[in-house]
């Protein structure tokens, strides 16, 4: 496993690496990765950790996905320059529900994986009990020496006691999981190293047992942008927040320098197959084979193969491919990305029953692709009007019902990039 993670750029810090390698080779191990539900959806940065758990599961180990119902109420200072807003119970419950559903798609909880919530073992924990059994094993000197804490203490905003205590809560989680579920390894991003080693130390002091920690590097794109961030914000795993099409397009638009690393870290493809894809990409970068592969694989993991296929087809449509070759799912994916409206086979919507066709001039004006009927006619004369990505000649302004794709869709285009999708109600 360590060689596998290293080859994928997913290994930065570990506790005693030789002992960890030996333990992983002896027998299956229980390991955990924690995610605080600070939003109702995971984002692309979270996906790395979940896929690390999946890699361990596919290698025969027992992953534990922890959602931080308790720690999510406090907020982790790691990687933060200011304090997080504390979540109320209703918001936290909604966030937990959303995150749990996404984890269930990525890990096999009917197999060896387990899903736990740290609120279950902290809600009845008294302050005195926590201070007596956990707090006494950690010195303020050790806690303040951790980079995540020290950087906040030296900042203008400082750090509250609430966030300062977060490290102990996470250490307590590791101790509880070790005691109750025989967990021996915690994994996380490199900003979690201080929290992870605090748990390793707590278990050693309380139980005399040796456990392990492992981190991977925090991701940043070669162009300096934060991985999983765009001008519009984070790339979410929730299709309502980031559509499968936009998720797919994020990877399609990656710089070449990030393509290989993304294939290694955001897909489950074997390293040998990735090497072949990267070599093909280097021979002909213009085809963007590496970006297409990671877009397809990552979208399939998160949203399912059908959504990945539809996103790829929608992209081809928007770049001018014949629309008649695409299935209905592609048009539904397209509907989330371009202006879309519904029309009916009635005169009010520009339908002429006698000719069994729509008035294209009226459709262009009503959809906003033309400012008026006169502007629509000018577009036809100029040759800038397309129906289902086919240029319309000036001889006709009628669109026959037979041109509906899948009996329902009509894609209008003005110029190179102005689209409007019509869903036609046939009843």
Average pLDDT over residues 282-292: 92
Mean pLDDT of 83-100: 77
Residues of the chain with pLDDT > 90, as a percent, come to 57
Give the confidence band of 78 by pLDDT, cuts at 50, 70, 90.
Answer: low
Q: pLDDT confidence of 281, banded at 50, 70, 90? A: very high
Domain end among 302, 335, 368:
335
Same domain flag for 394 and 277:
no
Does pLDDT of 388 surpass 70? yes
Shared domain for 307 and 346, answered yes or no, is no
**313 within a domain of the structure (yes/no):** yes
- Across residues 142-154, what is the average pLDDT? 78
- Of 158-167, 259-268, 328-337, 415-424, which has the strongest mean pLDDT? 259-268
Is 221 within a domain? no
Length of the chain: 427
Residue 188 has pLDDT above 90, yes or no: yes
pLDDT the model gives residue 81: 46
User: In the predicted model, what is the mean pLDDT of residues 382-411?
Assistant: 86
- The verdict on residue 223 lying in a domain is no
Do 91 and 38 belong to one domain? yes
Reading phi first (left if > 0) and then psi (alpha if -120 to 50, else beta), residue 288 is in left
pLDDT at residue 145 is higher than 80: no
- 299 band by pLDDT with thresholds 50, 70 and 90: very high
Kindly report which listed range (184-198, 225-239, 250-264, 269-283) carries the lowest average pLDDT score.
225-239
pLDDT of residue 134: 87
Greater pLDDT, 210 or 142: 210
Contact 199, 175 (CB under 8 A): yes
Most confident of 219-223, 370-374, 393-397: 370-374
- Which of 335, 363, 398 terminates a domain? The answer is 335
101 & 16 share domain: yes
Please check the confidence at residue 231 and state whether its pLDDT lies above 70: no
Give the mean pLDDT of 153-170: 83
Structural domain harbouring 277: 229-335
Model confidence over 22-71: pLDDT tens digits? 999 999 999 999 998 888 999 998 999 999 999 999 999 999 999 988 87
- Both tokens of 285, joined, read 């970068």
- pLDDT over threshold 70, residue 427: no
Residue 13 has pLDDT above 50, yes or no: yes
Residues with Cβ within 8 Å of 240's Cβ and at least 6 positions away in sequence, in order, are none
Q: Answer yes or no: is pLDDT of 15 > 60.
A: yes
Is 307 found in the same domain as 260?
Answer: yes
Residue 383 within any structural domain of the chain: yes
User: Per-residue DSSP letters for 336-382?
Assistant: TTS-EEEEESSGGGTEETTTTEEEHHHHHHHHTSSSSHHHHHHHHHH
pLDDT at 106: 95
| Across 187-196, average pLDDT | 92
Res 275 pLDDT > 50: yes
Average pLDDT over residues 74-78: 59
Instruction: Please tell me the distance from the alpha carbon of residue 141 to that of residue 11, in angstroms, as a whole number.
Output: 28
Joined together, the tokens standing for residue 69 give: 């119902």
Q: How far apart are CA 299 and CA 249, in angstroms?
A: 10
Res 228 pLDDT > 80: no
* Residues 184 and 321 reside in one and the same domain: no
Provide the CATH number for the domain around residue 67: 3.40.50.620
* 110 lies in the same domain as 54: yes
Q: Which residue has the higher pLDDT, 132 or 85?
A: 132
Q: Look at residue 201 and tell me whether its pLDDT is greater than 70.
A: yes
**pLDDT for position 14:** 97
d(CA 288, CA 200): 44
CATH number at residue 274: 1.10.240.10
pLDDT band at residue 420 under the 50/70/90 scheme: very high
Q: Are residues 247 and 367 in the same domain?
A: no
Question: 344 near 425, Cβ under 8 Å?
Answer: yes
Whether residue 224 lies inside any domain: the answer is no
Higher pLDDT, 194 or 178: 178
pLDDT score at 344 = 84
For residues 248 and 196, state if they share a domain. no
Among 318, 335, 352, the domain boundary falls at: 335
In this predicted structure, what is the pLDDT of residue 86?
A: 61
Q: 349: which 2 tokens?
A: 């919507």
Q: Is the same domain home to 24 and 105?
A: yes
Domain contains 222 = no
Do strands 212-216 and 183-189 pair parallel, antiparallel, or not at all (unpaired)? Answer: parallel
DSSP 8-class letter at 159: -
Are residues 312 and 295 in contact, defined by beta-carbon separation less than 8 angstroms? Answer: yes
Q: Is residue 137 part of a domain?
A: yes
**Strands annotated E in 217-304:** 229-230, 233-234
Of residues 140 and 268, more confidence is placed in 268
Number of independent structural domains in the chain: 3
146 and 172 assigned to the same domain: yes
| Whether residue 295 sits in one domain with residue 355 | no
The answer as to whether 22 is a domain residue is yes
Whether pLDDT at 359 is above 90: no
Residue 371 maps to which CATH number? Answer: 3.10.290.10
CA 35 to chain centre: 13
* pLDDT in the model for residue 355: 82
Which tens digits make up the pLDDT trace of 216-225? 998 877 776 6
Residue 229 pLDDT grade (very low, low, confident, very high; cuts 50, 70, 90): low
């Amino acid at each position: 496993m360590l060689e596998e993670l290293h080859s994928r750029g997913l290994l930065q810090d570990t506790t005693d690496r030789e002992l960890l390698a030996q333990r992983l080779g002896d027998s299956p191990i229980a390991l955990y990765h924690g995610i605080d539900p600070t939003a109702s959806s995971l984002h692309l940065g979270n996906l790395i950790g979940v896929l690390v758990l999946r890699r361990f599961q596919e290698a025969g180990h027992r992953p534990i996905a922890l959602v931080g119902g308790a720690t999510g109420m406090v907020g982790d200072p790691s990687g933060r320059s200011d304090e997080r807003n504390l979540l109320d119970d209703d918001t936290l419950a909604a966030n937990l529900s959303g995150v749990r559903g996404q984890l269930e798609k990525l890990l096999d909880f009917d197999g060896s994986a387990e899903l736990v919530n740290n609120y279950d073992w902290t809600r009845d924990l008294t302050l005195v009990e926590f201070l007596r059994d956990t707090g006494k094993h950690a010195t303020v000197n050790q806690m303040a020496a951790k980079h995540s804490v020290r950087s906040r203490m030296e900042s203008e905003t400082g750090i509250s006691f609430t966030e300062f205590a977060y490290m102990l809560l996470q250490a307590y989680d590791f101790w509880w999981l070790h005691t109750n579920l025989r967990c021996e390894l915690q994994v996380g991003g490199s900003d979690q190293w201080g929290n992870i080693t605090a748990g390793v130390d707590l278990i050693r002091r309380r139980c005399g047992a040796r456990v392990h920690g492992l981190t991977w590097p925090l991701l940043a794109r070669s162009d300096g942008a934060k991985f999983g961030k765009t001008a519009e914000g984070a790339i979410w795993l929730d299709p309502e927040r980031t559509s499968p099409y936009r998720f797919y397009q994020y990877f399609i638009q990656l710089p070449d320098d990030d393509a290989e690393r993304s294939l290694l870290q955001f897909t489950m493809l074997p390293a040998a197959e990735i090497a072949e894809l990267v070599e093909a990409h280097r021979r002909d970068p213009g085809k963007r084979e590496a970006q297409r592969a990671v877009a397809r694989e990552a979208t399939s993991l998160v949203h399912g193969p059908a959504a990945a296929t539809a996103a790829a087809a929608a992209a081809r449509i928007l770049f001018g491919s014949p629309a008649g070759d695409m299935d209905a799912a592609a048009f539904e994916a397209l509907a989330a990305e371009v202006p879309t409206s519904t029309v009916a086979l009635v005169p009010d919507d520009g339908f002429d029953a006698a000719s069994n066709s729509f008035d294209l001039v009226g459709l262009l004006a009503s959809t906003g692709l033309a400012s008026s009927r006169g502007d629509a006619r000018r577009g036809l004369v100029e040759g800038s009007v397309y129906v289902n990505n086919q240029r319309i000649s000036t001889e006709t302004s009628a669109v026959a019902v037979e041109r509906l794709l899948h009996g329902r869709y009509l894609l209008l285009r003005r110029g190179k990039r102005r689209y409007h999708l019509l869903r036609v109600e046939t009843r």
